[in-house]
Chain A
Amino acid sequence: MGVVEVFGMITLSPRSNISFSLTLLTPIIAIFFTLVMALIIFSFLGYDPLKSLYYFFIAPVSRPDQVAALAVKACPLILIASGLVFCYRSNIWNIGAEGQLVFGAIFSGWLALNFLESNSFLLLPCMMLVAILGGMFWALIPAILKIRFNTNEILVSLMLTYVASLFIDFLVRGPWRDPMSFGFPLTPTYSDAALIDRVYIPFVGYIGQLHYGVFVALIVSVILWFVLMKMLPGFKIRVTGESPSAAIFAGFNPSYVTVMVMCISGGTAGLAGMIEVSANIGQLQPNISFGYGFTAIIVAFLARLNPLAAIPAGLIVALAELGGDSVQISMGMPKVVTGVFKGLLLLSLLAGETFNRYHIKFDFKKGNK
């Protein structure tokens, strides 16, 4: 009857109705639990726990420009995670968003480098479009191999990430290198028309590094939420993930769904790559991402596979990254603390999810003898 007995003492039985308020409360409790655990760990490591918490969570967001930096950091995470949600909802395990991001940057970079003298306002939208196509192209390879030869998309998409990063490395050291770069592996700097502006508010000025790409990420995430939850293509994806045989019974083509979700997640990753370069770097270089394509996997699950929830989830993970940097600089904590913190957060969220779905009953009196 769906009851799991563990050691005859602890039983998990599914809740008959899962309350909405509890669903909202669970991540908050999980984050609180993570903070408590972090406090304990910090004090065991010999650091002043309250001071550590301050440097981890408060210091990185104590000034407007720092909040802006947080949003900039979260931007690619939100974008990529909103797309990855589609894959994971349909049981397609694309973990190569990092490579798709790089290909978005390469495709849009090709356009930018061909129009170095251009000042057309069309250049930026065109770059966004080809970036999406670039990410899709790189994501379609594992999709088509899966459909045609039943290969494992986890392996193929992951391995293609390394191909992508070696390819961009080759481009910026070889054919696309700026002759004026004194031997550094860099392309020429993009023209201004190929760069994304920082947000300027009259009478206030610029807010740190906040750029318009952040708004693109927010809009894309809302649109994708609408497509997933309110439209037929999203419905097909959800049915395919929940029960493949119901999807076939309804007449949905699983190959079509695979192609669709890989295109969506590849496209958002490609767009994220273009925004990173055009807003923050200004030219192509061997490394254009801080592993955003991998971190976004955590964001997608933190958001419980909901594109809209990817916004707060992306901010939280970005804060964990910035906080990790901050405690490294001001308190000399080891770099792995960030990783430990992210791990703790994911673990308590997944545990919270279990408590949300199941009743837990302790029964010591009738244990096995």
Chain B
Amino acid sequence: MPHTEVLLSGENITKIFGDFKANDNVNFSISKGEIHALLGENGAGKSTFVKIIYGLLKPDSGNVIWKNEIIEINGPKHARELGIGMVFQHFSLFEALTVLENISLALPEKNQSDDLEKRIKEISNEYGLQIDPRSRVFNLSVGEQQRVEIIRCLLQNPELLIMDEPTSVLTPQEISKLFEVLEKLSKSGCSILFITHKLEEVRSLTSRATILRRGKNVSTVETKDHTAKSFSQMMVGHEINTNKYKKNKIENENVLKINNLSRPAQNQFSVELKDINLSVRGGEILGIAGIAGNGQGELMEALTGEYLSNEADKILFNGFDISNFKPNDRRKLGISFIPEERIGHATVSSFNLSENFYLTDYINDNSSNYGIINNSFNYENASNIVNEYDVRVPHNNPLASSLSGGNLQKFIVGREISRKPKLLVASQPTWGVDVGAALEIRSQIIKIAEQGAIVIIISQDLDEIFLLSDLISVIYNGNLSKQFNKEKVNLEKIGLLMGGSS
């Protein structure tokens, strides 16, 4: 192996939050010029570990060794001085400023110079990171914004570049471009620590992978010796059923139609919806693909009734005009919603599960009498959901905030599905959820479609879209593409539509 010279290693890194061990004796090393994957489910401790390397957190015990010397990294500034750069999952760019201004703002004084624009152009040519330094950030696509972040790191000549789930927001085409850039970087001697939970990427890009599970490292392996399946087993700790979901198509009379729904942009950073049309029948699952920020949130609000256009005949449910129905009125008709934000939108974090059950069930006659909340009814229903949907709870009827993301999502899915909806609209139903929970949530969604419900899934996860949907359309810049039959469309076509070409 060419990787002989170790650049950075962590020895027995332990980090404890309260009584939770986020990192438990993690060992890790990365060589010069290596592309190394850090794999793990959500909550496995990946973020904690890279935050320690980047100086955002201090380990409770263990050593970080940089070029054969034990060091204590005091903060991100210190990390950057050492030669460690990081591209976060959520970008830290000012949308109203230009690329040049954004880069200049973030650079330390010693790297500032009058020829910054020239240097940006040099770097973008060298690595194929096409960008116009004069364009304003809000005009850039997500992939382009990521390039700005990468260039910003490269200007400081890093020897180690940490990338936190860089592909989660990109189209397939953008991902392959990013991989070319990363390979060039690695050839020029820069090491890359690549955090992901997408297994195919690990195999196509990296040479070694370190797998974390519940704060401990499972192993470090050569990626060429492994398959996606064996990686997922190492991540989850047991064999998981990766069989493709099979869905029986049972079409019935239920139908949702949206006719020329438009919505003006609410502010300069929100997206205008333009003439949205769709039509889904009972038993069908429509997957709406798209990169974040192309109008998914705006469309979801129009579907739930949180936004009302005050126009008639825009949304027809079984021929019934529900355009101006508020969320609770839509629920009465048998429509359920699973919004993207679990905490603060789908649930109230400081409320317990029975109160959170009541949140979307108060329209039910049994859940309150004369305005007095029927606590035992809500408690019973919440407990049933907990049992039926395998929600792991620390004790009976806990606060929503004490559940992990995946478990809370299972509760929300259970709450909405247990009402046996005729129409389910779910936005990012498995986002940030561990593999096991995602499997369960998806099979529940399939199940209610098989029982005749109309299902609409808005998701940025293309794998999920292809796994679940019968029909696929793409939202781009507030426009919804026509609906494709899943059998008659491929990943590449959808990827192109997601990037705005057709």
Nearest-neighbor residue (CB-CB) of A361 within chain B: B18
* Interface segment out of the listed B82-90, B132-140, B325-333, B473-481: B325-333
B331 adjacent to A251 (CB under 8 Å): yes
- Whether A249 touches B346, Cβ cut-off 8 Å, given contacts A3-B17, A235-B355, is yes
- CB contacts (< 8 Å) of B349 on chain A: these are 242-243
Nearest-neighbor residue (CB-CB) of B47 within chain A: A1
A250 adjacent to B371 (CB under 8 Å): no
- Whether A250 touches B18, Cβ cut-off 8 Å, given contacts A16-B402, A232-B373, A233-B371, is no
Tell which of B18, B346, B350 touches A242, judged by Cβ atoms closer than 8 Å: B350
Kindly state the separation between the CA atoms of A252 and B348 in the bound complex, as whole angstroms: 14
Per-residue A-contact encoding for B335-352, CB less than 8 Å = 1, 0 else: 001010101111111110
**A231 close to chain B: CB less than 8 A:** yes
A251 adjacent to B372 (CB under 8 Å): no
- CB contacts (< 8 Å) of A245 on chain B: these are 341, 344-345
- CB contacts (< 8 Å) of A235 on chain B: these are 355, 358, 362, 373
B17 adjacent to A250 (CB under 8 Å): no
Nearest-neighbor residue (CB-CB) of A240 within chain B: B348
Total of A-B residue pairs, C-beta within 8 Å: 83
Kindly state the separation between the CA atoms of A366 and B57 in the bound complex, as whole angstroms: 12
User: Which residues of A230-287 are within 8 A (CB) of B?
Assistant: 230-233, 235, 238-239, 242-243, 245-246, 248-251, 253
- CB contacts (< 8 Å) of B19 on chain A: these are 16
B17 adjacent to A239 (CB under 8 Å): no
- CB contacts (< 8 Å) of A251 on chain B: these are 305, 326-329, 331, 363
- CB contacts (< 8 Å) of A15 on chain B: these are 18
- CB contacts (< 8 Å) of B328 on chain A: these are 250-251
**A369 close to chain B: CB less than 8 A:** yes
- Whether A230 touches B373, Cβ cut-off 8 Å, given contacts A242-B350, A245-B344, is yes
Kindly state the separation between the CA atoms of A366 and B62 in the bound complex, as whole angstroms: 13
B347 adjacent to A246 (CB under 8 Å): yes
A1 adjacent to B17 (CB under 8 Å): yes
A248 adjacent to B347 (CB under 8 Å): no
- Whether A232 touches B368, Cβ cut-off 8 Å, given contacts A16-B19, A245-B345, is yes
Tell which of A232, A238, A248, A368 touches B362, judged by Cβ atoms closer than 8 Å: A232
Q: Which residue, of B19, B359, B394, has the highest number of chain A Cβ atoms within 10 A?
A: B359
Tell which of A1, A231, A242, A359 touches B348, judged by Cβ atoms closer than 8 Å: A242
A366 adjacent to B372 (CB under 8 Å): no
**B58 close to chain A: CB less than 8 A:** yes
* Size of B's binding interface in residues, CB under 8 A: 40
**A152 close to chain B: CB less than 8 A:** no
- CB contacts (< 8 Å) of B17 on chain A: these are 1, 3, 13
- CB contacts (< 8 Å) of B394 on chain A: these are 16-17
Q: How far is the CB of A63 from chain B (nearest CB, A)?
A: 42
Kindly state the separation between the CA atoms of A13 and B19 in the bound complex, as whole angstroms: 11
Kindly state the separation between the CA atoms of A43 and B76 in the bound complex, as whole angstroms: 50
Q: How far is the CB of A81 from chain B (nearest CB, A)?
A: 22
Q: How far is the CB of B424 from chain A (nearest CB, A)?
A: 15
B305 adjacent to A246 (CB under 8 Å): no
Q: How far is the CB of A226 from chain B (nearest CB, A)?
A: 8
- CB contacts (< 8 Å) of B252 on chain A: these are none
* Size of A's binding interface in residues, CB under 8 A: 28
- CB contacts (< 8 Å) of B362 on chain A: these are 232, 235, 250
Q: How far is the CB of B451 from chain A (nearest CB, A)?
A: 25
A249 adjacent to B373 (CB under 8 Å): no
Per-residue B-contact encoding for A346-369, CB less than 8 Å = 1, 0 else: 000000000000010000001011
Tell which of A230, A248, A368 touches B74, judged by Cβ atoms closer than 8 Å: A368
- Whether A239 touches B74, Cβ cut-off 8 Å, given contacts A246-B345, A249-B304, A249-B306, is no
B58 adjacent to A366 (CB under 8 Å): yes
A239 adjacent to B306 (CB under 8 Å): no
Q: How far is the CB of B193 from chain A (nearest CB, A)?
A: 20
- CB contacts (< 8 Å) of B348 on chain A: these are 238-239, 242-243, 246
A239 adjacent to B359 (CB under 8 Å): yes
Tell which of A14, A16, A249, A368 touches B345, judged by Cβ atoms closer than 8 Å: A249
- CB contacts (< 8 Å) of A3 on chain B: these are 17
Kindly state the separation between the CA atoms of A248 and B343 in the bound complex, as whole angstroms: 14
**B157 close to chain A: CB less than 8 A:** no
Kindly state the separation between the CA atoms of A3 and B415 in the bound complex, as whole angstroms: 30
**B176 close to chain A: CB less than 8 A:** no
Kindly state the separation between the CA atoms of A23 and B83 in the bound complex, as whole angstroms: 48
- CB contacts (< 8 Å) of B341 on chain A: these are 245
Kindly state the separation between the CA atoms of A246 and B359 in the bound complex, as whole angstroms: 8
- Whether A249 touches B368, Cβ cut-off 8 Å, given contacts A16-B18, A239-B359, A242-B351, is no
Nearest-neighbor residue (CB-CB) of A18 within chain B: B399
Kindly state the separation between the CA atoms of A94 and B163 in the bound complex, as whole angstroms: 48
- Whether A246 touches B344, Cβ cut-off 8 Å, given contacts A251-B328, A369-B74, is yes
- CB contacts (< 8 Å) of B371 on chain A: these are 231-233
User: Which residues of B460-490 are within 8 A (CB) of A?
Assistant: none
Per-residue B-contact encoding for A148-187, CB less than 8 Å = 1, 0 else: 0000000000000000000000000000000000000000
Kindly state the separation between the CA atoms of A15 and B327 in the bound complex, as whole angstroms: 34
Q: How far is the CB of B409 from chain A (nearest CB, A)?
A: 15
Kindly state the separation between the CA atoms of A1 and B43 in the bound complex, as whole angstroms: 11
Nearest-neighbor residue (CB-CB) of B367 within chain A: A232
A243 adjacent to B372 (CB under 8 Å): no
Q: How far is the CB of B311 from chain A (nearest CB, A)?
A: 20
User: Which residues of B362-385 are within 8 A (CB) of A?
Assistant: 362-363, 368, 371-373, 375
User: Which residues of A1-19 are within 8 A (CB) of B?
Assistant: 1, 3, 8, 13-17
Kindly state the separation between the CA atoms of A14 and B305 in the bound complex, as whole angstroms: 35
- Whether A243 touches B344, Cβ cut-off 8 Å, given contacts A13-B18, A17-B402, A232-B362, is yes
Kindly state the separation between the CA atoms of A61 and B17 in the bound complex, as whole angstroms: 48
- CB contacts (< 8 Å) of B58 on chain A: these are 8, 366
Nearest-neighbor residue (CB-CB) of A8 within chain B: B58
Q: How far is the CB of B5 from chain A (nearest CB, A)?
A: 30
- CB contacts (< 8 Å) of B373 on chain A: these are 230-232, 235
B372 adjacent to A250 (CB under 8 Å): no
**B98 close to chain A: CB less than 8 A:** no
**B360 close to chain A: CB less than 8 A:** yes
Nearest-neighbor residue (CB-CB) of B51 within chain A: A1
- CB contacts (< 8 Å) of A17 on chain B: these are 394, 402
Nearest-neighbor residue (CB-CB) of B347 within chain A: A246
Q: How far is the CB of B360 from chain A (nearest CB, A)?
A: 6
B345 adjacent to A250 (CB under 8 Å): no
Kindly state the separation between the CA atoms of A232 and B348 in the bound complex, as whole angstroms: 15
- CB contacts (< 8 Å) of B358 on chain A: these are 235
Kindly state the separation between the CA atoms of A37 and B121 in the bound complex, as whole angstroms: 65
Q: How far is the CB of A263 from chain B (nearest CB, A)?
A: 16
- CB contacts (< 8 Å) of B375 on chain A: these are 230
Nearest-neighbor residue (CB-CB) of B327 within chain A: A251
Kindly state the separation between the CA atoms of A322 and B219 in the bound complex, as whole angstroms: 70
Kindly state the separation between the CA atoms of A7 and B37 in the bound complex, as whole angstroms: 33
Kindly state the separation between the CA atoms of A230 and B349 in the bound complex, as whole angstroms: 19
A248 adjacent to B306 (CB under 8 Å): yes
Query: What 17 new A-B contacts, CB under 8 Å, besides A246-B344, A246-B347, A249-B346?
Result: A1-B22, A13-B17, A15-B18, A231-B372, A232-B371, A232-B372, A239-B348, A239-B351, A243-B345, A243-B348, A245-B341, A249-B304, A249-B327, A249-B339, A251-B326, A251-B329, A369-B74
What would 15 A/B residue contacts be, using CB atoms closer than 8 Å? Answer: A1-B22, A14-B18, A15-B18, A16-B18, A16-B394, A230-B372, A231-B368, A232-B368, A235-B355, A238-B348, A243-B344, A249-B346, A251-B305, A251-B327, A251-B363
- Residues of B in contact with A (beta carbons under 8 Å apart): 17-19, 22, 48, 58, 74, 304-306, 326-329, 331, 337, 339, 341, 343-351, 355, 358-360, 362-363, 368, 371-373, 375, 394, 402
Identify the 4 closest CB pairs spanning chains A and B, nearest first: A251-B328, A251-B327, A243-B344, A232-B371
